Amino acid sequence: MTDLTRTLIERWKPDRDGTFQTWFLWPERLKNFRSIRRGISTVVNEIQAGTFGNAYRGSSLETVVSAIAEQRQIFKGADHAFLWKPKLRIPDIYENADHQRAFARLLHTCNCCDTEQEVVQAIQQLNRHGIKGLGPAVANLLYFIHPTLAVPFNTAIVNGYNALTGSRVKLGKWDHYLAMREGVLSLNGRYRDLLSNDLGAIAGLLFDIGMERYPAPPQEGGATTIAEWEKDLAKAREEAASFAKQLQAGRTDDASHTEVQGWLRDLGKALGFAVWVATNDRSRPYNGGVLSEGCLATLPNSLLVSGADTVPLIDVVWLNAVSLEVEAAFEVEHTTSIYSGIVRLLDLALGTDQATRKHLFLVAPDAREADVRAQLARPAFRRVAELGIRYVPYTSLTEHRDSIARFGVGIKPIEAIARTL
């Protein structure tokens, strides 16, 4: 099985339509970790303060779980486990205050601890409460806290694990999750040279096996069985074509995201600003060069104090060319999580002076205006109104960027095409 599994991984990793290429190596994936952690901290703080309430809809939990569910197909439906089922009265963290606090203790402990033993003990402690409807889907939250210790969890991942290992892991049981986690860590250790310390990589492999995009190696059988499996594996790329059209849209979206970043970069330079491009986007090809061409190589230390791992990930920042004070910051949300973009702008605004707070922009397609407004209306973002975040629709930027670059001065032209939220 070892050699066949290695063959499988080697075929799977370079597949442009596989989860490794479309999600694990997706630049936006890493941008979301800190914003999701921050959302988890908000959930914990509200439960501890007794202000969380007794409803999922409109809660800080809905906000952070929705951000996880936006992480492309591997986390699609992640919110289902947390939705209130009135007939079953589950998950029992909305009506039972003790269970709600136990849930918060798990999240808080994992958010503060560093070791595998502490994470496992926190899960076991929660399991002892026997909270109805609150099962291993919570591990999707824990993954964004400890990606090297917690394995993402959904039906496809479980099915893939069972198919690959011959196990019989069941959904909804924490002890089964912990057993699967041990098995996944063992597999990951065996093939770490092909995978990653981040368990998202092997979770993506299990997900694609569970979705039947790739056949698991046979558990037993002779040369004929193995030959049939290898034939099926060879067909996997062809069968993946049915997914290609959908996933191609994602790659087009990424290209368009880069294009809009390039517009904002060039516009900032034309207006006389020093420009910063997000750390993980700097080497992206754009207009015959790279996106960071002609931009700042580093940010001022003053911007790294309160959001050292978040502010450098803001898509585009305009700074005063002399003082290097922030004049404007832009998050481009083509199809990516609006939630995470808002959090990055908040980290910048709350860590700098009041002047900066007037020039924060979400740039998104016109069709996403309702999504932008809906996110900003969430209780978790009640401070947004005083920070003055504005929305720039693509059409406004497309129609006016050339004239702004030629005749504009300062921030006023971009404010003129932005919409107040």
Residue type, 54: N
pLDDT at position 243: 47
pLDDT at position 381: 74
What's the predicted TM-score (pTM) here? 0.77
pLDDT at position 347: 80
Structure tokens, 222: 């002779």
**For each of the chain's 421 residues, which pLDDT tens digit applies?**
448 899 999 989 998 889 999 899 987 788 788 889 989 999 999 999 999 999 998 899 998 998 898 877 899 888 899 999 988 899 999 999 999 999 999 999 999 999 999 999 999 999 999 999 999 999 999 999 999 999 999 999 999 999 999 999 999 999 999 999 999 999 999 999 999 999 999 999 999 999 988 888 887 666 766 677 666 666 665 655 544 454 444 444 555 889 999 999 999 999 999 999 999 889 989 989 999 999 999 988 877 765 556 788 899 999 999 999 899 999 998 866 788 888 888 888 776 554 455 689 999 998 888 888 888 877 767 666 677 889 999 999 999 999 999 888 889 999 999 998 7
pLDDT at position 140: 96
Handedness of CA 149, 154, 157, 159 (dihedral sign): positive
* Annotated domain spans of the chain: 2-237, 248-420
